[in-house]
Amino acid sequence: MKVTVLEQTDNTLQMRVEGVRPGLMNAIRRIMLAETPTMAIEEVVILENQSPLFDEIIAHRLGLVPLKTNYDQYVLSSDCSCEGVGCHLCQAGFTMEVEAPEDGFIATTGDLKPQDPEVVPVSDKIPIAKLAKGQRIVVEAYARLGIGQDHAKWQPVSTMAYKMVPHVKVDNNKCDGCKECVEVCFRQVFEMQKDKAVVVDEENCTLCNLCVETCDVQAITVSHDENNFIVTIESTGALPPMVIFEKGLDVFRKKYEELITSLPGRVPKAALKKPPAKKKAPTKKPKKKAPTKKKAPTKKKAPTKKTKATASKTKTKTTSKSKTKKKK
Ligand code: SF4
Ligand code: SF4
Ligand SMILES: [Zn+2]
């Protein structure tokens, strides 16, 4: 696998990922969407609400506010020693107390006062409620780590998409310079140069095939590479996009390790430590051949060649046989 960063800003990342099968790429995408933990407000205590909004609406709006996440200080409440009750290891608190100084005052995320300065809303301009003069809202809120598959508020990305790397070619010998491909392509992949269509931005192609259908002389071919992808990650602001990618891969690695260790042949590792006894057994196998009915005495030795667990059984069998023979 090879990863090349094409473009990166505070909240967006575009990169080229090569040498990956579509199934694996999609698994990574889904993990980033649904299983990369972020902080979000999970519990809201409404102490006073004079706004025209129901308590539930205010709580819902607070829950959807993206919060900057600090992985190093918090654990999932399900993994916390408090067993989900809520403590400084698994939750961060906020308070908000606002009173509108005038009609039309808008309470925003800027009015949320965080207990942890590192867990704050990604913006202080997200509106929560519009108030008339003198109306008050007083709340306590508690944020916890969670994952997107439990609720979308814990999803760290607004966009996580990929496309296969496109390949667009123009056969200059066939091109008659009609310009139709330039006009029909909404991604500006082509330009006319010296009365011929030229590919100038191949990676911008969406593989829609409009140009192929438009070109009457079949001068254009569009294909894609199934093992190379252009990946676009747009963060909500909760985490830098590169961190989301790394955490997603980390979650994927843990899943992979769990799968490997759960394989039937690997579970009894403790049992596999006994092989020394099993290794000695093979030397006894030749003795098993002894009981090949040639001599009764050798049959009695055979039992000792088997594992300890089966030895007693084999001994009883052999003794019974010897008895039956004697009777005969
Ligand atoms: S549509 Fe075909 S013939 Fe016309 S400019 Fe494009 S490549 Fe050339
Ligand atoms: S396939 Fe679509 S996006 Fe790609 S070059 Fe042709 S018209 Fe443009
Ligand atoms: Zn806790």
Do the domain assignments include residue 11? yes
Q: What is the pLDDT of residue 271?
A: 52
pLDDT beyond 80 at 33: yes
Count of structural domains within the chain: 3
- Phi and psi angles of residue 123, each rounded to the nearest 5 degrees, phi first: -145, 145
Do the domain assignments include residue 79? yes
Do the domain assignments include residue 255? no
Q: What is the pLDDT of residue 275?
A: 52
Tell me the C-alpha to C-alpha distance, in Å, between residue 20 and each of 193, 227, 228, 250: 36, 5, 6, 17
Q: What is the pLDDT of residue 79?
A: 86
Do the domain assignments include residue 50? yes
CA distance 238 to 195: 49
CA distance 202 to 170: 11
Looking at the fold, whether 142 and 88 belong to one and the same domain comes out as yes
pLDDT digits (tens, 9 = 90+) for 48-106: 999 999 999 999 999 999 999 887 789 988 888 988 888 889 999 999 999 999 999 99
CA distance 81 to 242: 30
Looking at the fold, whether 30 and 161 belong to one and the same domain comes out as yes
**How confident is the model over 14-36, as a mean pLDDT?**
93
**Which one has a higher pLDDT value, 299 or 19?**
19
Atom of ligand 2 nearest to the CA of 168: 5
Atom of ligand 1 nearest to the CA of 214: 1
Is the distance from the beta carbon of residue 31 to the nearest atom of ligand 2 less than 6 Å?
no
CA 235 – ligand 2 centroid, Å: 27
Ligand number nearest to the C-alpha of 220 = 1
For 278, residues 6+ apart whose C-beta sits below 8 A from its C-beta are 307
Q: What is the pLDDT of residue 296?
A: 37
User: Atom 2 of ligand 2 has which residue's CA nearest to it?
Assistant: 208
**How confident is the model over 291-295, as a mean pLDDT?**
40
291 lies in which domain range?
Answer: 284-316
Rg (CA), the chain: 34
DSSP 189: -
**Which one has a higher pLDDT value, 184 or 272?**
184
Q: Indicate the pLDDT class of residue 322, thresholds 50, 70 and 90.
A: very low
Q: What is the pLDDT of residue 323?
A: 37
User: Atom 3 of ligand 1 has which residue's CA nearest to it?
Assistant: 175
| Block residue for tokens 């933990």 | 37
Ligand number nearest to the C-alpha of 185 = 2
Looking at the fold, whether 134 and 69 belong to one and the same domain comes out as yes
pLDDT digits (tens, 9 = 90+) for 243-261: 999 999 999 999 989 888 8
Decide which of 105, 122, 147 is a domain's last residue.
Answer: 147
Residue to substitute in 169, 170, 172, 181 for testing ligand 1 pocket (most ligand atoms within 8 angstroms of CB): 181
CATH number at residue 219: 3.30.1360.10
How many CB atoms lie under 10 A from the CB of residue 170?
A: 19
CA distance 116 to 23: 40
Q: Single out the residue of 319, 236, 306, 297 nearest to residue 65, CA to CA.
A: 236
pLDDT beyond 90 at 328: no
Atom of ligand 2 nearest to the CA of 190: 5
Atom of ligand 1 nearest to the CA of 179: 5
Looking at the fold, whether 137 and 48 belong to one and the same domain comes out as yes
Answer for the pair 183, 144: CB distance below 8 angstroms, yes or no: no
Atom of ligand 1 nearest to the CA of 211: 1
Provide the whole-model pTM. Answer: 0.71
CA 78 – ligand 3 centroid, Å: 8
Strand partners, 198: 191
CA 186 – ligand 1 centroid, Å: 15
Is the distance from the beta carbon of residue 199 to the nearest atom of ligand 2 less than 6 Å?
no
Q: What is the pLDDT of residue 251?
A: 92
pLDDT digits (tens, 9 = 90+) for 117-165: 999 999 999 999 999 999 999 999 999 999 999 999 999 999 899 999 9
| Pairing label, strands 113-114, 157-170 | unpaired
Answer for the pair 308, 284: CB distance below 8 angstroms, yes or no: no
pLDDT digits (tens, 9 = 90+) for 250-291: 999 999 898 888 887 765 555 545 555 544 444 444 444 444
Is the distance from the beta carbon of residue 207 to the nearest atom of ligand 2 less than 6 Å?
yes
CA dihedral of residues 237, 240, 243, 249 (deg, nearest 10): 60
User: Atom 4 of ligand 1 has which residue's CA nearest to it?
Assistant: 178
Looking at the fold, whether 120 and 93 belong to one and the same domain comes out as yes
Q: What is the pLDDT of residue 291?
A: 43
Is the distance from the beta carbon of residue 197 to the nearest atom of ligand 2 less than 6 Å?
no
Give the mean pLDDT of the chain: 83
| Block residue for tokens 């979650």 | 251
Ligand number nearest to the C-alpha of 91 = 3
CA 221 – ligand 2 centroid, Å: 10
Ligand number nearest to the C-alpha of 203 = 2
CA 190 – ligand 2 centroid, Å: 9
CA distance 160 to 107: 31
Looking at the fold, whether 138 and 69 belong to one and the same domain comes out as yes
Answer for the pair 222, 211: CB distance below 8 angstroms, yes or no: yes
CATH number at residue 140: 2.170.120.12
User: Atom 8 of ligand 1 has which residue's CA nearest to it?
Assistant: 175
- Residues near ligand 1 (Cβ within 6 A): 170, 175-181, 197, 214-215, 217, 219-220
